[in-house]
Structure 1
């Protein structure tokens, strides 16, 4: 009998009643686009962080966003996840969900997950406990009072442990994991909530070469069933995972295409190297 099967027997608590759970809205991707960003503008004390930015991301793709510090990458992610409100423009999740009408909590419930650069796992808890706490459920007092892990939820955690490669570390304290393993755990904490869109910020910063390679495999495996947008400065890592790269500069899209196409784009060369070919 596996450790997770044992847990199924000892971690039984009263189940959340179905009428207390939020239902996730269906995302209309009938046009194959899951994220529409159009005419986005945002200024901070006169600084134009986003400048008439337009971006379209297809359902199931792995998109990389690159650009110098201050190019607008983090600000864009802040707007998409409801952390920041733009001055003008529109952001739609699929054809019909206007993200600008929702707050951060609502957007997470809609199926958009975000991972920041620095891992934010609960280090005093086990890997399993971290994943359990992240299961998608209504977090108000009454549902949590009656919450328990169902066999289906335990199977979901088991599945995610396999995806992120931490099955053997299941009951290890999260604080004892390596830096790379903590990054994978945090990705797993997003995955248990079954998001349709993942926003991942600099996932390989501080990783060993082996951890970087494993992260590339992990993110590549996630695309398809879900959409993944990665912000990263490591160009070799970007080259290893991305089919489409979007280059941001001064709050706008400067170029878009394959890694080879953007590296050979005259505008990109002029901005980042100071000379045209």
Structure 2
């Protein structure tokens, strides 16, 4: 079944091109065909996104400037289904701006950003992108501190959020199982009644990741998840992210190199809004360009 986000994108795309077809013999012939969906209901399609090789996120030729400063400069980035990708780079490299573009907060001047072959993220707003399956966790945890851990996860479930729906909401057995599953994943099953404000810093970070998981995202963008954590919390966060890879694609932006080493399969290095290097951790560490701009050597 076609998702709502995909349907809306298809209708929007075809509505823009409908005036070009209206009045043409091809358009009216299309209306009488019974062997296929009307062309004006078909979503856009990007053949450059190679889903056969598992590609999920496609970012190509993206640039954006702020008051003459090029924050992102011809950025190309490709993330596969189930991949855990680490993004590193010095301050000002464009890491946050890159995530802002993917989530619809910032519009680039040029380039393409697709989720799969049919969702053009540049034609969607932030809410539509979130509903399409992209979740973002910021560096500072944002949880409802006056509510319990369970209530935070319950409020984060995908579905209708209007006042009437919330007033009438009763958790189904399946939804309760989803919450319990996420509680176990994030290691807070024994704290489900605790107010979120009483959790440690690391536990709040895990709860926020859990809140994103309740929305069943395809892609998770995680910004500096271990900043301010103890070594024990860092180890637990490493285990958590590794356990999520495979079921979700995960992009982790982080400065702590020990943590990156503990989870990284592929590392992308950004510098001046562009991909400077990409590869295995050892390859990145041995790259003289990376040593110069990132490690100061």
Q: Same fold (TM over 0.5)?
A: yes
Total equivalences in the alignment: 254
1:196 equivalent in alignment to 2:255: no
Contact 1:36–1:92 at 8 Å: present in 2 too? Answer: yes
Of 86, 89, 94, 1:67 maps to: 89
Corresponding position of 2:127: 105
How far residue 175 of structure 1 moved from its aligned partner, in angstroms, is 0.7
What CA distance in whole angstroms lies between the structure 1 residues aligned with 2:170 and 2:66? Answer: 45
How far residue 271 of structure 1 moved from its aligned partner, in angstroms, is 2.0
Q: Cα–Cα, structure 1 residues 62 and 236, in superposed 2: closer, same or farther, change >3 Å?
A: same
What CA distance in whole angstroms lies between the structure 2 residues aligned with 1:53 and 1:228? Answer: 19
Q: Cα–Cα, structure 1 residues 210 and 102, in superposed 2: closer, same or farther, change >3 Å?
A: same
More helix by share: 2
Map Cα deviations across residues 136-191 of structure 1 (whole Å, 9 max, x no partner): 01223343343221111111000000000000000001111111000000000000
Q: Cα–Cα, structure 1 residues 117 and 274, in superposed 2: closer, same or farther, change >3 Å?
A: closer
Q: Cα–Cα, structure 1 residues 191 and 273, in superposed 2: closer, same or farther, change >3 Å?
A: closer
Residue segments in structure 1 that go unaligned for 5+ positions in a row: 1-21
Task: Note the 1:223-262 alignment, pairs <5 A.
Answer: 223-262=245-284
The structure, 1 or 2, with the larger RCO (C-alpha pairs under 8 Å, 6+ apart) is 1
Could you say what secondary structure the match of 1:54 adopts? strand
Corresponding position of 2:204: 182
TM-score, scaled relative to structure 2: 0.82
Map Cα deviations across residues 174-220 of structure 1 (whole Å, 9 max, x no partner): 11111100000000000011101000000000000000000000000
Contact 2:6–2:118 at 8 Å: present in 1 too? Answer: no
Map Cα deviations across residues 254-276 of structure 1 (whole Å, 9 max, x no partner): 0000111011112112223555x
Could you say what secondary structure the match of 1:64 adopts? strand
Map Cα deviations across residues 107-151 of structure 1 (whole Å, 9 max, x no partner): 110011000000000111000000000000122334334322111
What CA distance in whole angstroms lies between the structure 2 residues aligned with 1:28 and 1:112? Answer: 19
Q: Cα–Cα, structure 1 residues 68 and 274, in superposed 2: closer, same or farther, change >3 Å?
A: closer
Where in structure 1 do 4 or more consecutive aligned residues deviate above 4 Å?
22-28
What CA distance in whole angstroms lies between the structure 2 residues aligned with 1:185 and 1:273? Answer: 32
What CA distance in whole angstroms lies between the structure 2 residues aligned with 1:141 and 1:177? Answer: 29
What CA distance in whole angstroms lies between the structure 2 residues aligned with 1:205 and 1:99? Answer: 29
Corresponding position of 1:88: 110
Contact 1:64–1:238 at 8 Å: present in 2 too? Answer: yes
Contact 2:5–2:128 at 8 Å: present in 1 too? Answer: no
Greater radius of gyration (CA): 2
How far residue 79 of structure 1 moved from its aligned partner, in angstroms, is 0.5
What CA distance in whole angstroms lies between the structure 1 residues aligned with 2:296 and 2:205? Answer: 35
Contact 1:24–1:111 at 8 Å: present in 2 too? Answer: no
Q: Cα–Cα, structure 1 residues 144 and 24, in superposed 2: closer, same or farther, change >3 Å?
A: farther
Q: Cα–Cα, structure 1 residues 66 and 188, in superposed 2: closer, same or farther, change >3 Å?
A: same
Corresponding position of 1:124: 146
